[in-house]
Amino acid sequence: MNGLTVSNLSFSYGSRAILRDVTFDALQPGQLTALIGPNAAGKSTLFKSIAGLLKPSTGQITLGGLDLATLSAQARLKQICFMPQFFAANAALTVFDVVMMAQKQLRGWRVNSADTAAVAHALSAGGIGHLAEAYVSELSGGQSQMVSVVQALVRQSDVYLFDEPTSALDLRHQLDVLGRIRAAIRDRDAIGMVALHDLNLAARYADHLILIGNGVIQTQGTPEEVLNSPKIAEVYDVDVELLVGPRKDLLVHAYAS
Amino acid sequence: MALVGVAAVLLVCIVVIDVITGPADLSFWRTLQVILDPSIATPKEGVIIWDLRLPVALMAVAVGAMLGVAGAEMQTILNNPLADPFTLGLSSAASFGAALAIVMGWSVIPGVGALFVTMNAFVVAMATSMALFAFTRLRGVSPEAMILVGIAMLFTFNALLAFLQYGASEIQLAQLVFWQMGSLARATWEKVGICLAVLGLVLPYFIYKSWALTALRMGEEKAAALGVNVSALRLTVLAGVSLLSAVAVSFVGAIAFVGLVGPHIARMIVGEDQRGFLPLSALAGALILSGTSIASKAITPGIVYPIGMITSLIGIPFFIVLILGQRKRHWQ
């Protein structure tokens, strides 16, 4: 398996180009890649294109050498697990129900004890065991985001795409969730991509960073390489100072220019 | 699952009570025995139970279940708690079809004989849902567009109906008003059979799609990420729902409220996991309609009131109590 590759990918809504000629190095199994970039840079669009929910106008996406465009939508989404940024939470469904839904992957009416055990384990591992009986309509923003992450991780896929999994979480839960995502990616030897706004978190948890701005890949590489690149200041339109933190972690400080 | 069982047992009891209610002295057990084993019936019992009462009672069950299922899935695909077969104008279309038959004497499909009022109602309701179907295909399937077109249909047919009513004679008008009120008295074994056949056709499909429908309640994007083809699901479910409600409405007239309230009762009890929600919506619809069928006969002995009036009169206070007593608020 030679990872997930994206080459010459373009996408536009009508005449408005969202992604232009996006190409990046093959993402390797067991590694977590952070996709960073300002709002409306095309992060979600890139994820949806990889998941096959949007049809790109040009370009090719391959997984393990196989062109994903040749797969049916169902087969593709079995291999690629995409966690969207938002979910409408006015349904009378419990947290247990929605995670079970992901576990069953829309197949079969019956739920066996293995499914129940898997869901119960996923909930407690995700730190939301106490919410199992709560209705999704009653969750706070942060709680429903954690449910989304559990929902994604309960599925067994080759590729995991998380669209801003930590945007509504407090400090402690941000660390928990990203730690859990990274551990799952390593254990399963899967390919992981996370869209993040917090560059410090990206530097700390990701093996690889991709910076996207204006629908174009600006730079990619290890966290040190990308965060040291002048492109960061340019793309985000801020002044950036980089420090090494007390535990040898990279710290990014941004100042309005 | 236990709840579904309880509701099913309750439904059987209600059906038997429904058969008993009315002039003629029948006991609960005797009636149950006769239903289970027709050979022991006296000729009088045979006529009353098998020929007169049972078709009506079973029609109430079948139509209630159809409207309950149709309402449940319509609320699901349109993501709207107020959706039911009436919101999309199907019942006004059926009324208009019936009015064409009653007032103008036109039959849309010639040669159907005595059934031509029913047939007209069915054809116009089905044509309406096909128009809706075509529109959503053409314009892209969004819940907003479907509801707005449905409401446009509703007003169009109400206006056309008023037009016909204005020109109708007094007898025709009385007939038409009576038709619109909804009545189970027109039930026959054939109609019960058709209703059950349609249910037997559509329900398995909905059951097959139950996870996809549950997923749709999490939002389109989430459902799509799980591999649901949202537009195709909406269209096929719309087709199924249209068939259910067109058949139901054309046989018994406009019975409001069951398709709206049945699913809400089910939702309050089991939530929206379709594996519980779908059967319980059907059972709740059937229970409501059977219950009102009893009430329509019991209020004034000897008179059977049109059931459409009773569903609203009895159902609404009950529904308001349910809403007031409910702590958890969905759809906000």
Under the banding of pLDDT at 50, 70 and 90, the label for residue B332 is: very low
Sheet of A80-83: strands edge to edge?
A80-83, A159-163, A191-196, A32-36, A208-213, A216-221
What's the mean per-residue pLDDT of chain A?
Answer: 88
pLDDT of B329 strictly over 60: no
Question: Which chain B residues touch A77 with a CB distance below 8 Å?
Answer: 225-227
State pLDDT tens for residues A18-29: 899 999 888 999
What is the dihedral angle through the alpha carbons of B190, B194, B195, B201, rounded to the nearest 10 degrees?
A: 160
pLDDT of B45 strictly over 70: yes
Backbone angles phi, psi at B277, to 5 degrees: -65, -45
State pLDDT tens for residues B205-214: 998 888 888 8
Residue A47 sits at the chain B interface (C-beta within 8 Å)? no
Residue A241 sits at the chain B interface (C-beta within 8 Å)? no
Q: Is B170 helix (H, G, I), strand (E, B) or coil?
A: helix
Chain B residue closest in CA terms to A76: B227
Contact B222 A84 (CB under 8 A): yes
**Cα(A1)–Cα(A16) distance, rounded to whole angstroms?**
35
How distant, in Å, are the alpha carbons of A31, A223, B67 from that of A229? 21, 10, 63
Helix, strand and coil percent figures for chain A, each rounded to 5: 40, 30, 30
Under the banding of pLDDT at 50, 70 and 90, the label for residue B63 is: very high
Whole-number pLDDT of residue B140: 66
For A78-82, B18-22, B68-72, B245-249, which range has the lowest pLDDT when averaged over its residues?
Answer: B18-22
pLDDT of B106 strictly over 60: yes
Q: Shortest Cα distance from B200 to chain A (angstroms)?
A: 17
Residue B221 sits at the chain A interface (C-beta within 8 Å)? yes
Under the banding of pLDDT at 50, 70 and 90, the label for residue A174 is: very high
Contact A92 B222 (CB under 8 A): no
pLDDT of A169 strictly over 80: yes
Residue A119 sits at the chain B interface (C-beta within 8 Å)? no
Whole-number pLDDT of residue A191: 93
Whole-number pLDDT of residue B57: 87
| Residue whose structure tokens are 């049109």 | B306
Contact A82 B330 (CB under 8 A): no
Q: Could you give the percent of chain B with pLDDT greater than 90?
A: 11
β-strand partners of A239 = A255
Whole-number pLDDT of residue A244: 85
pLDDT of A190 strictly over 90: yes
Residue among A92, A104, A109 whose CB faces B267 most closely: A92
Question: Which chain B residues touch A44 with a CB distance below 8 Å?
Answer: none
More confident residue, B111 or A5: A5
Cα torsion angle, B145, B156, B312, B284, sign: negative
Q: Shortest Cα distance from B271 to chain A (angstroms)?
A: 5
Question: Which chain B residues touch A78 with a CB distance below 8 Å?
Answer: 227
pLDDT of A211 strictly over 90: yes
Task: Say how many C-beta atoms besides its own lie within 10 A of residue B331's C-beta.
Answer: 14
Under the banding of pLDDT at 50, 70 and 90, the label for residue B65 is: very high
State pLDDT tens for residues A127-144: 888 998 888 888 888 888
Whole-number pLDDT of residue B72: 92
Residue B210 sits at the chain A interface (C-beta within 8 Å)? yes
Residue A106 sits at the chain B interface (C-beta within 8 Å)? yes
What's the mean per-residue pLDDT of chain B?
Answer: 82
| The amino acid at A135 | Y
State pLDDT tens for residues A143-154: 888 999 998 998
**Cα(A149)–Cα(A185) distance, rounded to whole angstroms?**
13
Whole-number pLDDT of residue B330: 54
CATH topology of domain B2-324: ABC transporter involved in vitamin B12 uptake, BtuC (1.10.3470)
Mean pLDDT of B155-182: 86
Q: Could you give the percent of chain A with pLDDT greater than 70?
A: 96
Question: Which chain A residues touch B77 with a CB distance below 8 Å?
Answer: none
Under the banding of pLDDT at 50, 70 and 90, the label for residue A88 is: low
Residue among A73, A83, A101 whose CB faces B214 most closely: A101
Whole-number pLDDT of residue A249: 82
Residue B275 sits at the chain A interface (C-beta within 8 Å)? yes
Question: Beta strands A191-196 and A66-67: pairing type?
Answer: unpaired
Rg of chain B (C-alpha set): 20
Question: Which chain B residues touch A73 with a CB distance below 8 Å?
Answer: 227, 229
Backbone angles phi, psi at B100, to 5 degrees: -55, -45
Residue among A53, A74, A106 whose CB faces B211 most closely: A106
What DSSP string describes B41-110? --HHHIIIIIIIIHHHHHHHHHHHHHHHHHHHHHHHHHT-TT-STTTTTHHHHHHHHHHIIIII---SST
Contact A73, A112 (CB under 8 A): no
| The amino acid at A215 | G
HEC-encoded secondary structure of A55-108 = CCCEEEEEECCEEHHHCCHHHHHHHEEEECCCCCCCCCCEHHHHHHHHHHCCCC
pLDDT of A239 strictly over 90: no
Question: Which chain A residues touch B267 with a CB distance below 8 Å?
Answer: 92
Question: Which chain B residues touch A94 with a CB distance below 8 Å?
Answer: 271, 273
pTM over 0.90: no
Question: Beta strands A191-196 and A32-36: pairing type?
Answer: parallel
Sheet of A66-67: strands edge to edge?
A16-27, A4-13, A58-63, A66-67
Domains of chain A: 4-256 (3.40.50.300)
pLDDT of B56 strictly over 90: no
Chain A residue closest in CA terms to B266: A92
Residue B144 sits at the chain A interface (C-beta within 8 Å)? no
Contact B219 A73 (CB under 8 A): no
Contact B278, B284 (CB under 8 A): no
Q: Domain residues of chain B, as ranges?
A: 2-324
Question: Which chain A residues touch B218 with a CB distance below 8 Å?
Answer: 87-89, 91, 93, 98, 101, 136
For A162-166, B31-35, B243-247, B327-331, which range has the lowest pLDDT when averaged over its residues?
Answer: B327-331
Under the banding of pLDDT at 50, 70 and 90, the label for residue A33 is: very high
pLDDT of B182 strictly over 80: no
Backbone angles phi, psi at A4, to 5 degrees: -105, 120
Whole-number pLDDT of residue B325: 67
Under the banding of pLDDT at 50, 70 and 90, the label for residue B327 is: low
How many inter-chain contacts (A to B, CB under 8 Å) are there? Answer: 86
Q: Which of B330, B331, B332 to mutate to test the interface with A (most CBs of A within 10 A)?
A: B330
Residue A83 sits at the chain B interface (C-beta within 8 Å)? yes
pLDDT of B286 strictly over 50: yes
Residue among B210, B214, B332 whose CB faces A93 most closely: B214
Whole-number pLDDT of residue A173: 92
Q: Shortest Cα distance from B243 to chain A (angstroms)?
A: 24
Q: Shortest Cα distance from B331 to chain A (angstroms)?
A: 5
pLDDT of B270 strictly over 70: yes
Residue B223 sits at the chain A interface (C-beta within 8 Å)? no
pLDDT of A34 strictly over 90: yes
Question: Which chain A residues touch B212 with a CB distance below 8 Å?
Answer: 106
Residue B79 sits at the chain A interface (C-beta within 8 Å)? yes
Residue B217 sits at the chain A interface (C-beta within 8 Å)? yes
Residue A134 sits at the chain B interface (C-beta within 8 Å)? no
pLDDT of A72 strictly over 80: yes
Residue B159 sits at the chain A interface (C-beta within 8 Å)? no
Q: Shortest Cα distance from B172 to chain A (angstroms)?
A: 46
Whole-number pLDDT of residue B104: 78
